[in-house]
Chains A and B, each alone.
Chain A
Amino acid sequence: MSEFDSAGALLKSAPKSLAAFLAAGEERARLWRPEELGAIYRHQMSAPILMDLGGFDPATATRLRTLSAAQSLLLTSFLDLFLHPVPPIELLNLTKDFAKGNMEHPDSSLPHEITAVLYYVSIAAAYVRLDRKISQLGDAEFKRGLLWAKGQPWVEKPIQDLLDEALQKLAAGGPKA
């Protein structure tokens, strides 16, 4: 671990550095730079599902573990969930709720872009793979969300394809049931 000479560094610090440091140190300041979103997205997609969704109440967490284990999803990633041919609807719902909770929470530490993509992709996965709509979004709003997510330059191919499929299905009239 390196040492930081606080007194030495601060003593010669320019007002610009001080101002920028204080602004960046604010809790509400962006934690991550826009150019880091790609790396954060890849990290999110490869993150173990239980790591993020495990923060729900104990009963839900237990249910989550059971579901993941039953579907051979234990300790696998969000990407695995979204690309699973028959993903558990409960896991998609939990993912959507996790994303929405972070999107709406002013103190959420996750970048809004990442949680928004997670939100739309979880809905898209249920829509495409399970023929189910798991949100109250109207078609127009859902479409706008899918297009927005698809437009993020860091959203990679398998998820781009899923979003495309959802858009095509929506254009064709939506779920059968």
Chain B
Amino acid sequence: MGFPLAPPALLGFIGIGVMSSEPTASSIFPRTDWAELGPTAEADAVRLDRLIRLYWTPLRIFLVASFPSLKDQADVLLQEFAEDKILKTGWLQRADRERGKFRDFLKISLRNFVLDRLSRAEVKRAPLSLDELEVDLPAAEETAEAFDLTWVRTVLAETLRRMEADCKDPAEEQPRRSQIWEMFRIRLLEPFFNDAPQVPYDQLIESFGLKSPTDASNMLLSAKRIFKAHLTRVIKEYAEHDAATAEEIRALEEFVAGLARKMP
């Protein structure tokens, strides 16, 4: 199936933004001058811009998994989706927490957006039958899983990136903060993600100058708490409320646990 790659001008960009001809280096939405829309809109735009940048990969994976023939146009479509849907006034408000998770809302929105584009293209060119369109859609569960798995990976990678930067920040007052990151890396990250052997406890005492098991345990516990604080912050940026954030953390944990059980 061939989806016509239309030039942006013909793709019906109808965002609320005031267009600016000057692209900004820091934004993936160079055509919108959010400053002219007032501080609230600007703050929302900055936040959304960051979210879209961060979750571009899971969105792209979901799009390609749902519509394999659109692989080559995925980035353009995502850009249009972001401009046309996400950055439209009220879109974020429609991601009502009572109506489901932000992640699910994003998936449904993207899927509907692409289907809409496909049907519009079909009306214009009439090259496809609905049967052909169906063939292009793999099992919804698989694509949703691929999206959610990449989402979890993205959330965790971002959490770890921030945790590391935080722990290595010399301005931070907590003593031994860089050691806390190192302990977390040696103790959890390397064994789980790089198949590294566990460093024996005796070696930890020597490496970190640990004075007692309380000292050692407090260091490891601090690391876990810093990780959790960053994880919560990363998720709260899209889940917004504390309850929704806690629920999302639980949902992500349950999702990967369920996926792990299914896999050999």
B257 nearest in chain A by CB position: A19
A-chain residues with CB within 8 Å of residue B211 when the two chains form the complex: 47-48, 51
Does B263 contact A14, Cβ atoms closer than 8 Å? Answer: yes
Determine which residue in A2, A26, A43, A47 has the highest number of CB atoms from chain B within 10 A of its CB, and name it.
A43
Stretch at the interface among B17-25, B196-204, B236-244: B196-204
CA A110 to CA B263, docked complex, whole Å: 34
Tell yes or no: A177 within 8 A of B by CB: no
Interface size on A, residues (CB 8 A): 39
A21 CA to B184 CA, complexed, in Å: 11
A15 CA / B192 CA spacing, docked (Å): 11
* Least CB distance, A176 to chain B, in whole angstroms: 35
A1 at the interface (CB under 8 A from B): yes
B92 part of interface (Cβ distance < 8 Å)? no
Chain B proximity of A131: nearest CB distance (Å): 29
Q: What residues of chain B lie closer than 8 Å to A4, measured between beta carbons?
A: 160, 164, 185, 189-190
Contact with A along B239-264 (1 / 0, CB 8 A): 00000000000001100110110010
Among B185, B188, B213: residue with most chain A CB under 10 A:
B213
Within the complex, what minimum Cβ distance (angstroms) separates B215 from chain A? 7
Most B CB atoms within 10 A — which of A18, A21, A48? A18
State the majority secondary structure of interface residues on A.
helix
Chain B min CB distance to A32 (Å): 7
Total interface residues in chain B, CB < 8 Å: 45
Selected from B210, B221, B227, B252, the residue in CB contact (under 8 A) with A109 is B221
A6 CA to B160 CA in the complex, in Å? 6
| A136 contacts chain B at the CB level, 8 A cutoff | no
Tell me the nearest residue of chain A to B219, going by C-beta: A109
Question: Are A10 and B212 in touch, CB under 8 angstroms?
Answer: no
Evaluate contact between B224 and A25: CB separation under 8 angstroms.
yes
Contacts A7-B157, A19-B260: A40 and B192 contacting too (C-beta < 8 A)? no
**CA–CA, A19 to B188, complex, Å?**
12
Tell me, yes or no, whether B194 is within 8 Å of chain A by CB: yes
Give the CA-CA distance A32 to B210 in the complex, in Å: 15
Q: Is A111 on the interface with B (CB-CB < 8 A)?
A: yes
Which of A21, A27, A39 is close to B192, meaning CB atoms less than 8 Å apart?
A: A21
Interface of B is mostly: helix
Q: For residue A43, which residues in chain B have a CB less than 8 angstroms away from its CB?
A: 201-202, 205, 210, 212-213, 216
Question: What B residues does A21 contact at CB under 8 A?
Answer: 156, 188-189, 192-193
On whether the beta carbons of B157 and A48 are closer than 8 Å, the reply is no
Quote the shortest CB–CB distance from B152 to chain A (angstroms).
Answer: 6
Interface string of B158-196 (1 = CB under 8 A from A): 001100100000000000001000100100111011100
Known: A4-B190, A13-B193, A31-B217. A39 touches B256 (CB 8 A): no
Bound Cα distance from A51 to B210, whole angstroms: 11
CB–CB A25/B228 < 8 A: yes
How distant is the Cα of A15 from the Cα of B182 in the complex, in angstroms?
Answer: 24
B156 touches A27 (CB 8 A): no
The residue from A10, A11, A13, A27 contacting B225, defined by CB atoms under 8 A apart: A27
Complex contacts, A2 vs chain B, CB 8 Å? 185
Are A47 and B212 in contact, CB atoms less than 8 angstroms apart? Answer: yes
Contacting B at CB under 8 A, from A30-47, are: 31-33, 36, 39-40, 43-44, 47
A122 to chain B, nearest CB (A): 15
* Complex contact B260–A36 (CB within 8 A): no
A-B contact pairs, 10 of them (CB 8 A): A1-B178, A2-B185, A11-B157, A19-B259, A20-B260, A36-B200, A40-B213, A43-B210, A43-B213, A48-B211
